Amino acid sequence: MPMKVHVQTRLNGEEVEFLCEPRQSLLEVLRDVLGLTGSKEGCNNGNCGACSVILDGVLVNSCCVLGVETAGREVTTIEGIASPDGLHPLQQKFLEHAALQCGICTPGFIVAAKALLDKNPHPTEHQVRYWLAGNLCRCTGYDKIIRAVLDAAQTTEAKV
């Protein structure tokens, strides 16, 4: 078995450290080492977006990043989107718009949409569709997801 590596990083606003094999992806580290199973594996090759996380402000597929690459960086996962005060407006709008069915893609969509609103607080429908094209949903046909994101962008208290 390969030697494990000690990694320090900032995860959802907290300093964390973990041991991982050099070959383990960030997705594996989040799920299997740190117990954060909100990021999902749909394809493990960067094509479905179910494992989306924000790394130093950039939206990435955590299946395509190695755990060791996060050393000294800042990671935000679905578990870090809500605050003690309550749900993020995106989460609330996903609920209100019924923008999920099975829910497996939902964490990835919410993280990806947050990364969009962080950059562009008032996107057009086309910009939302373009940005979220890296996230596959097989249940909803995207209609209600797009509406939820546009509505969240309208919400004045959106934390963007």
Partner 1 sequence: MAETTTYKVIGTRPIRHDGVDKVTGRAIYGADVQMAGLLHGKVLRSPHAHARIRSIDVSRALALPGVKAVMTGADLPPAEDRIINLGEGAVNLKYLSNNILAGDKVLYKGHPVVAVAATSPHLAEEALALIHVDYEVLPPVLDVREAMQDSAPLLHENLKTKSLGQETDKVSNVATHTQFKLGDVEKGFQEADVVIEREFTTATVHQGYIEPHNATAMWNPDGQLTIWESTQGAFTVQRQLAPVLGIAVAQIRVIPAEIGGGFGGKINLYLEPIAAVLSQKTGHPVKVLMNRAEVFESTGPTPGSYIRVKMGATKDGRVTAAQAYMAYEAGGYPGSPIGAGMMCIFSPYDIPNVLIDGFDVVVNKPKTAPYRAPGATNAAFASETVVDELCEKLGLDPLQFRLRNAAKEGTRRPDGPTHPRIGYLETVQAALDSDHYRTPLEGPNVGRGVASGYWFNVGLQSSVSINVNADGSVTLVEGSTDIGGTRASIAMQAAEVLGLKAEEVRPIVADTASVGYNDVTGGSRTTFASGYAAIEAAQDVVRQMTERAARIWKVEPPDVTFADGVFHHNNEADQRLTFQEVAAQLGRTGGPVTGRATVAPRGVGGAFATHIVDLQVDPETGKVTVLRYTAVQDVGKAIHPSYVEGQMQGGAVQGIGWALNEEYFYNNTGAMANASFLDYRMPTSLDLPMIDTILVEVPNPGHPFGVRGVGEVPIVPPVAAIANAIYRATGVRLRHSPMSPGRVMTEVLAKG
Binding positions for partner 1, rule: CB under 8 A: 1, 21, 23-24, 31-32, 35-45, 47-48, 50, 77-79, 81-82, 87, 91, 94-98, 100-107, 110, 128-130, 132-147
By beta-carbon proximity to partner 1, the closer residue of 7 and 116 is 116
Which H or E run contains 10? strand 5-11
To partner 1, the closest distance from the beta carbon of 109 in angstroms equals: 9
By beta-carbon proximity to partner 1, the closer residue of 82 and 160 is 82
By beta-carbon proximity to partner 1, the closer residue of 72 and 96 is 96
To partner 1, the closest distance from the beta carbon of 27 in angstroms equals: 11
To partner 1, the closest distance from the beta carbon of 57 in angstroms equals: 20
Q: Residue 134 has what DSSP assignment?
A: G
Token pair of 7 as six digits:
């990694």
To partner 1, the closest distance from the beta carbon of 61 in angstroms equals: 11
Question: Mapping DSSP to helix (H, G, I), strand (E, B) and coil, where does residue 32 land?
Answer: helix
Q: What is the DSSP string of 60-129?
A: EEGGGSBGGGGTTSEEE-GGGTSBTTB--HHHHHHHHTT--SS-SSHHHHHHHHHHHHHH-SS--HHHHH
By beta-carbon proximity to partner 1, the closer residue of 1 and 15 is 1
Classify strands 58-61 and 52-55 as parallel, antiparallel or unpaired.
antiparallel
